[in-house]
A and B are shown apart, each in its own frame.
Chain A
Amino acid sequence: MSNNEFYSLTVNGVQHPVQDAWVGESLLYVLRERLGLPGAKGACEQGECGSCTVFVNGSAVCSCLVMAATVVDTEIATVEGLSSDGTLTDVQQAFIDEGAVQCGFCTPGLVMAVHHLLDQNAQPSEHEIKEALSGNICRCTGYGRIFEAVNTAISRRQENAR
């Protein structure tokens, strides 16, 4: 029921021991600084930018607002786990093809948010896409290319489904 200095997290299906950590640390900090998983990015650490988006039990949340020691016995998925064999997911490929990546800082969080959206809703409207990505800030692209990437991923999935 309680846990202190030692606990373990299941990230992308792999159990990781977390040792000698202060138990108040955020999941973002633990992923990056203790588990060597720097895919989730930290910018604001107050839930505003979405660059730290991960899945906790299938929900897309800001890892900076999750206390890591409370998500033991939980499935955590990060951008590193989206594909296992070094290949890119369709969303990642679409981001590249549409030039939706400039500095790239926002990209992991956006890719997670887009995967989450398309898992829930295979044919989102323009409004639904904007709403779904409203928690992810990009300072470079102006979002146009990002929306293009989402649309490309959607149409490729539809073609593949045929």
Chain B
Amino acid sequence: MTVYLPHTIEEATALLEAHPHALVLGGGTDVMVEINFNHRKPSDVVALRNVDELRTWTINNETSSIYIGAGVPYSEMESGELQKVAPALAAAARTVGSPQIRAAGTLGGNLGTCSPAGDSLPVLSALNAEVHLASSHGVRSVPFAEYMVGPKRTSRTATEMITGVTIPKANGWQGYSKVGVRNAMVISVASACLAIQDDMVRLALGSVGPTIIRCVEAEKWLHENFATLTDLQPADCAEFGRRAASEARPIDDHRSTAEYRRHAISVLAQRLLQRSIQS
């Protein structure tokens, strides 16, 4: 096994081309658990730690968008300038693991693992994020919905790496809520991101299906029945929650039951909508 430490995206993609079975290593917070427990024995490792360009983020005021490099850790998303322009991502980042995990774990790693419980993913879904992929043959960008194709399954090929994502600058209320068994250090049992972007409510659910689920029916129901959100009554928010829950596709597993997860979604969606009106 060889560990490669490229300094540029170009070097990294050349290495992936030459070693298509190599494991890409971001912050290591998913990968090292598997290696420590012998669940994974990589042939080669391409570690992105020294690729500085992956650790940058920029705000483009002309296109009103934000570019976040794959190597940006949660600790940088949870506060400061990024929190102002991407509040739901900041809220999601704050729920991840512990300070130590947030200092090491990256957005690219969350996308690489692509677990339905990944906390950044409902945010990327609700914001119609573009995921940027690079290989030695060039770059391409795919909408998040086409990037995540199943539980821990993506449309990324072995010789591609994630370089970053583009999301719109927030221009309405947005929030993220997560249910777990305790406050700190917990993988979500159910989660939801609600974002009002260009006056449209968008809702995405985590941990309640094989992929992140966009509640297109509940979104449509709101849009068609309410001219402005200020018209919404508490009963309407509850109805929105029920509709969101009916779009969830939860299962029973070691963390929770399908029934509880569906109930949790109805509460989360209702609350997020209520908060968006009150703010």
Contact = CB atoms under 8 A, between A and B. Distances in A.
Given A2-B3, A113-B99, A61 B104 contact: yes
28 contacts: A1-B5, A1-B7, A2-B3, A2-B4, A3-B3, A3-B5, A24-B3, A26-B32, A45-B33, A46-B33, A46-B37, A47-B29, A47-B98, A47-B100, A50-B98, A53-B100, A59-B103, A61-B104, A65-B101, A66-B28, A67-B3, A67-B35, A70-B25, A70-B28, A70-B47, A132-B99, A134-B185, A135-B101
A82 interface: no
A2 B46 CA distance: 9
Contacts of A31: none
* Range of interface residues on A (Cβ < 8 Å): 20 to 34
B209 interface: no
B45 A67 contact: yes
B223 interface: no
Interface of B: 1-7, 11, 25, 27-29, 31-33, 35-37, 41-42, 45, 47, 49-50, 75, 97-101, 103-104, 183-185
Contacts, number: 106
Contact of B100 (A1, A2, A61, A73): A61
Interface in A45-102: 45-48, 50, 53, 59-62, 64-67, 69-73
A64 B28 CA distance: 10
A66 B104 contact: yes
Contacts of B99: 60, 113, 131-132, 134-135
Most buried by A among B2, B32, B33: B32
Interface in A14-42: 22-24, 26
Given A67-B25, A71-B49, A60 B100 contact: yes
The 7 closest A-B CB pairs, nearest first, are A135-B98, A134-B184, A70-B47, A65-B32, A59-B103, A135-B100, A45-B36
A59 B105 CA distance: 12
A6 to B, nearest CB: 12
